[in-house]
């Protein structure tokens, strides 16, 4: 009789040695299973599958994202940290704002040599970050995960989308993201550094997105950041966008980011000055620009039609940006 080892009489030992069905070949061999048997069970039509060198999945179905992450961590070894797009997803950034990427990006200590293979990219670093555990997965902090992701993206719009998502949903400040880019490898950082340099004032990020959206309007704004005064010379405000022909203001409010009572009061006072001068105002939150840009376009088009149907308010433009 061929000796099959303890695993044959006690198959529960296999699951016990695994992490949710993902197991190292060396752990299977420690249960008395030969490498030949392991290899045969991973052949097409067999009950298992090989995910990565030395890593086996104890079923033959499509691996789940969690199983792929587990296999990548087992392959990369102790102290490996998941970063990049998958780490951003596990941190809670919305999948719709993340580019499609079937690979996993792992950070390992600079003194280790583990090659990239299959769907796993390993990166040696002297700045291995302390992991942020999330459901048992060691994640790079969101700021690091985001910068690791964007420097590998070839599409500038994808970089912009991910950075905005990290800032708006992940509460990462542009200064912190820019610092991380400046202190890591410089490969692939030109585009994200340019974007973030323009967003150090967090309002400018929303304005950048608003300007891009305004190009979809039938009648774009005539001025940006121009000061307005009434006929008596009283200062009214410095709206983000202004349609001088019809007297329409568009303000990208910062309430998504700043929750202080004083900031909200300034917004109320500003809008009151606009209203008493007969100026029509469209207010947009930064999150609306990202989550529902089509609705913002409809709001602006409708407001322009209303403003154009009535006499232009008696206000004057001081300077144009």
Please give the pLDDT value at position 291: 80
Count CB atoms within 10 A of the CB of residue 36: 8
Please give the pLDDT value at position 321: 40
What whole-number distance in Å separates Cα of residue 208 and Cα of residue 140? Answer: 28
pTM of the model: 0.69
Q: What angle do CA 119, 125, 127 make, to 5 degrees?
A: 130
What whole-number distance in Å separates Cα of residue 221 and Cα of residue 282? Answer: 12
Residue 19 in tokens? 């992490």
**pLDDT tens string for the chain (321 positions)?**
334 556 655 667 787 788 889 999 999 988 888 999 999 999 999 999 999 999 999 999 999 999 999 999 999 999 999 999 999 999 999 898 899 887 999 999 999 999 999 999 999 999 999 999 999 999 999 999 999 999 999 998 899 889 988 987 888 888 999 999 999 889 999 999 988 887 776 666 778 889 889 999 999 999 998 899 998 899 999 999 999 999 999 998 765 444 345 556 777 888 899 999 999 999 998 778 878 899 999 999 999 999 999 999 999 988 544
Please give the pLDDT value at position 2: 39
Q: Residue 196: which of 166, 232, 170, 224 has the closest Cα?
A: 166
Q: Residue 29: which of 7, 49, 3 has the closest Cα?
A: 7
In the DSSP assignment, the letter for residue 170 is: S
What whole-number distance in Å separates Cα of residue 48 and Cα of residue 111? Answer: 33
In the DSSP assignment, the letter for residue 240 is: S
In the DSSP assignment, the letter for residue 245 is: T
Contact (CB, 8 A) for 5 and 31: yes
Please give the pLDDT value at position 119: 96
Please give the pLDDT value at position 173: 87
Burial class (CB in 10 A: 0-12, 13-18, 19+), 192: buried
Q: Residue 241: which of 219, 223, 254 has the closest Cα?
A: 223
How far apart are the two ends of the chain, measured CA to CA in Å?
88
Please give the pLDDT value at position 184: 87
């Amino acid at each position: 009789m061929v000796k099959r080892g303890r695993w044959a009489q006690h198959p529960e030992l296999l699951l016990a040695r695994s992490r949710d069905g993902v197991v190292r070949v060396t752990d299977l061999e420690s249960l008395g299973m030969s490498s030949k048997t392991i290899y045969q069970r991973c052949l097409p039509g067999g009950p298992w599958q090989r995910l990565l060198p030395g890593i086996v999945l104890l079923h033959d179905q499509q691996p789940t994202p969690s199983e792929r992450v587990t296999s990548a961590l087992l392959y990369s070894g102790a102290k490996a940290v998941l970063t990049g797009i998958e780490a951003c997803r596990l941190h809670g950034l919305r999948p719709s704002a993340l580019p499609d990427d079937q690979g996993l990006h792992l950070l390992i200590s600079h003194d280790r040599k583990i090659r990239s293979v299959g769907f796993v990219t390993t990166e040696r670093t002297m700045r291995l970050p302390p992991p942020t555990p999330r459901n048992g997965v060691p994640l790079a902090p969101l700021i690091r995960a985001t910068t690791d992701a964007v420097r590998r993206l070839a599409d500038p719009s994808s970089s912009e989308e991910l950075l905005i998502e990290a800032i708006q949903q992940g509460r990462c400040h542009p200064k912190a993201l820019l610092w991380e880019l400046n202190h890591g490898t410089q490969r692939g950082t030109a585009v994200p550094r340019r974007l973030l340099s323009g967003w150090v004032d967090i309002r400018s990020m929303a304005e950048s997105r608003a300007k891009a959206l305004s190009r979809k309007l039938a009648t774009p704004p005539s001025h940006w950041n121009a000061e307005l005064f009434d006929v008596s010379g009283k200062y009214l405000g410095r709206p983000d966008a202004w349609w001088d022909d019809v007297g329409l203001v568009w303000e990208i409010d910062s309430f998504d980011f700043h929750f202080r009572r004083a900031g909200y009061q300034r917004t109320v006072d500003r809008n009151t000055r606009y209203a008493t001068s007969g100026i029509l105002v469209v207010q947009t939150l930064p999150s609306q620009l990202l989550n529902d840009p089509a609705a913002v376009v409809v709001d602006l088009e409708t407001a322009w039609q209303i403003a154009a149907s009535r006499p232009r308010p008696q206000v004057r433009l001081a300077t144009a940006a």
